[in-house]
């Protein structure tokens, strides 16, 4: 397997200098501060912050007991943002899919108002309507902010090999590691393949672009434009 730098350098010239992902921090129901990754993407004329649902929840075992979720997440981008997850009736302000009490590990927040701010120009914004093909054995790369870094958040890129493909899911080896969840998985040309979800018995799992897009489309009828506010630099651990 080639080094991560060899993978991401191919075709990367148009977006040199742009951050491929953003750090996300939350405080879970137990009061523990947790870190993860997210990224920005466009779909249906809106700007979305996409991450893994367990990153926003601050732990594994994603469920729809909304009272146990944090009220908000901190996003380390630009001046720093605190993004509200629920409305006054405790209904989600994010796109999601729930079934039998469990929530798919994909979450997307409509942050379209941010498109007017200059700092968005320093962050890669992926196109959810332009899914790239991928094949078993192909080298791919995840961008994120591993929580084992000495001084979180530190951006990292890690290389993987595609192990298997199934509808809406890409499996890879090795797994991505803690803190990388929620980040973008890219092909050798820098095109978005999907969202890093975590692993199952050491095999990494990625929600493919079409799965993210489907969850957003299913949620659009009930979603208002997300609210956000600038609170200065997000909290540190």
Q: Are residues 113 and 54 in the same domain?
A: yes
Q: Is residue 101 part of a domain?
A: yes
Spell out the SS3 assignment of 68-113.
HCCCEEEECCCCCEEEECECCCCCECEECCEECCEECCCEEEECHH
How many separate domains does the chain show? Answer: 2
Q: Are residues 81 and 107 in the same domain?
A: yes
Local structure of residue 137 (DSSP, 8 states): T
Q: Are residues 119 and 158 in the same domain?
A: no
Q: Is residue 57 part of a domain?
A: yes
Q: Are residues 38 and 150 in the same domain?
A: no
pLDDT digit string (tens) for the chain, length 237 residues: 333 322 232 233 334 579 999 999 998 777 778 899 999 999 999 999 999 999 999 876 799 999 999 999 999 988 888 999 999 999 999 999 999 889 999 999 999 888 778 888 889 999 999 878 999 999 999 999 998 877 889 999 999 999 999 999 999 998 888 899 999 999 999 999 999 998 888 899 999 999 999 999 999 998 876 555 544 444 344
B/e letters for 166-203, b = 16+ CB within 10 Å, e = fewer, are eebebbbeebbbebbbbbbbbbbebbbbbbbbbbeeee
Q: Is residue 237 part of a domain?
A: no
Q: Are residues 116 and 222 in the same domain?
A: yes
SS3 percent helix, strand, coil of the chain, rounded to 5, is: 15, 40, 45
Q: Is residue 96 part of a domain?
A: yes
Q: Is residue 236 part of a domain?
A: no
Q: Are residues 194 and 81 in the same domain?
A: no
- Return the pLDDT at 3: 32
Q: Are residues 8 and 72 in the same domain?
A: no
- Which residues form the domain of 90? 22-125+213-230
CATH assignment at residue 11: 2.40.10.10
């Amino acid at each position: 397997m080639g080094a991560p730098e060899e993978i991401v350098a191919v075709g990367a010239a148009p977006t040199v200098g742009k951050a491929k992902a953003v750090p996300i921090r939350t405080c879970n129901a137990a009061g523990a501060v947790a870190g993860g990754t997210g990224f920005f993407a466009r779909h249906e004329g809106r700007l979305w912050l996409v991450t893994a649902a367990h990153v926003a929840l601050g732990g594994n075992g994603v469920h729809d007991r909304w009272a146990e979720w944090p009220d908000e997440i901190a996003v380390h981008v630009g001046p720093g943002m605190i993004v509200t997850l629920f409305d006054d009736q405790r209904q989600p302000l994010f796109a999601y899919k729930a079934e039998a009490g469990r929530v798919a590990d994909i979450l997307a927040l409509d942050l379209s108002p941010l498109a007017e701010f200059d700092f968005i120009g320093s962050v890669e914004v992926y196109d959810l309507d332009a899914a790239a093909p991928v094949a078993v054995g192909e080298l791919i790369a995840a961008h994120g902010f591993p929580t084992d870094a000495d001084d979180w958040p530190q951006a990292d890129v890690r290389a993987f090999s595609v192990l298997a493909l199934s509808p809406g899911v890409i499996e890879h080896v090795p797994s991505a590691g803690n803190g990388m969840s929620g980040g973008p998985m890219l092909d050798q040309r820098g095109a978005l393949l999907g969202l890093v979800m975590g692993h199952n018995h050491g095999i990494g799992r990625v929600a493919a672009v079409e799965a993210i897009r489907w969850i957003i489309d299913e949620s659009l009828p009930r979603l208002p434009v997300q609210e956000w506010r600038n609170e200065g630099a997000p909290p540190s651990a």
